[in-house]
Amino acid sequence: MTTIVQHITPRSVRADGIVRLWGAGFDGSCNVLVGNRPATIVDYENDFIEFVAPGSVGQHTVKLVRGSDEIYSEKLFVVSFENSQTWNLPVRAEDDFRYALLGLMPRGFAWFTGKDGNWWKLFSAFASGFKAVHDSLRHLVDECSPLKTTSYSDWERELGLPLKGLEQSTNAGRKREIVRVSRSKGGCTVPYLRSLLKLYGARFDIYEFFKSPSVFPAWVAEKNGDMANFFVLIKVYRDSPGPRGMTCKSKCNASLGTPRDSKLEAIVEKSKPAHIKVVYSYVIRVLTDMGGNPIVDDSNRMIIV
């Protein structure tokens, strides 16, 4: 059986998205290679074959092969989630509309749909108009999505941004805050607080008082009694000792603090349930030997882990 590939859609797809090759003669013996690796085939019929795009962002070469024969080769652009197309309105070219219209034509010699025929010319004109309407609708949908919008002020007014301590000086930063706040989900659980800290990129441990009271400062229980059960301790591990530095002349068995992270605390305080009280602890973990003595590098500096 002869296999013909006429078109690939979309040419720009989000990581791990679905891509379709249009044409004729596809069957189970056809394989798709992205680079030199086989892609996962999702579905195929006689006139199309669908596969999963790679997860790595960038330009990739897509090949359709049958056995050792290369039938088709084309470039595919994979973009990040933030730059991906919005829900059900992907980017379309005039070719997409032309082939869709030609696909509605009856089969047979009386309906010639080749590039030299009148149907091709007529549907090329229709495709230009359909693309213009589609682009206008796609722009409207993009502005309704926090991922694609450029109307930052409208979204900030709707979401009550910027938050205190999280003011952004660049459009990229404003957009990240719009996406974070508009898509956040609340809850009075440790997993919810943990999801916020992971999103921020912190290295941390988190404890609840009623499960691990021994790790909390003594004043939590002394000053709050039974209300201490509503306390949560967030221990943040820092990568540097801070601008003032530090020394360690004895066994390193105590936490070494650094300046507070006001942005991290602003995110947690804004998003946590009102009845939860959070205690923050900023520590530096130093590599030690079995006796608790700090291990230093060739420059006589302690190793932070």
**In the structure, what pLDDT confidence band is assigned to residue 305 with cuts at 50, 70 and 90?**
low
Q: What is the pLDDT of residue 13?
A: 85
Q: Is residue 163 part of a domain?
A: no
pLDDT in tens, 95-145: 888 888 888 887 777 677 777 778 888 888 898 889 899 888 888 887 888
Statement: residue 60 has pLDDT above 90? yes
Domain membership flag for residue 232: yes
- For 155-180, write each residue's pLDDT tens digit: 888 888 887 778 888 888 888 888 77
* Residue 60 within a domain: yes
Report residue 245's pLDDT band, with 50, 70 and 90 as the boundaries: very low
What confidence score (pLDDT) does residue 268 get? 86
The three state secondary structure string of the chain is CCCEEEEEECCEEECCCEEEEEEECCCCCEEEEECCEECCEEEEECCEEEEECCCCCEEEEEEEEECCEEEEEEEEEEECHHHCCCCCCCCCCHHHHHHHHHCCCCCCCCCCCCCCCHHHHHHHHHHHHHHHHHHHHHHHHHHCCCCCCCCHHHHHHHHCCCCCCCCCCCHHHHHHHHHHHHCCCCCCCHHHHHHHHHHHCCEEEEEECCCCHHHCCHHHHHHHHHHHHHEEEEEEECCCCCCCCCCCCCCCCCCCCCCCCHHHHHHHHHHCCCCCEEEEEEECCECECCCCCECECCCCCECEC
pTM, full prediction: 0.39
Has residue 44 been placed in a domain? yes
Show which of 50, 66, 81 is a domain's final residue.
81
Structural domain contains residue 14: yes
Task: Choose one of 49, 81, 113: the last residue of a domain.
Answer: 81
Residue 115, in any domain of the structure: no
Which pLDDT belongs to residue 87? 61
Confidence band (pLDDT; 50, 70, 90) for 221? very high
Q: What's the start-to-end Cα distance of the chain, in Å?
A: 61
Integer CA distances (angstroms), 273 to 53, 198, 230, 268, 300, in order: 40, 18, 10, 9, 45
- The position carrying tokens 């090329």 is 124
CA distance 95 to 13: 17
Reported as a pLDDT band with limits 50, 70 and 90, residue 266 is confident
User: Could you tell me the two tokens for 52?
Assistant: 């999963």
pLDDT in tens, 176-204: 888 777 766 555 567 778 777 887 888 88
Report residue 114: phi and psi, to 5°: -70, 170
- How many domains does one find in the chain? 2
pLDDT tens profile 15-54:
877 899 998 889 888 999 998 889 988 888 888 899 988 8
For residue 73, give its domain range: 1-81
Asked if residue 88 belongs to a domain, the reply is no
Q: Is residue 136 part of a domain?
A: no
Q: Any idea what the Cα angle at residue 25 is, between residues 23 and 26, rounded to 5°? A: 85
Domain boundary among 34, 59, 81: 81
Assign residue 2 the CATH number of its domain: 2.60.40.10
Q: CA–CA separation, 291 vs 269, rounded Å?
A: 39
Confidence at residue 233, expressed as pLDDT on a 0 to 100 scale: 92
Decide if 236 contacts 196 (C-beta within 8 A): no
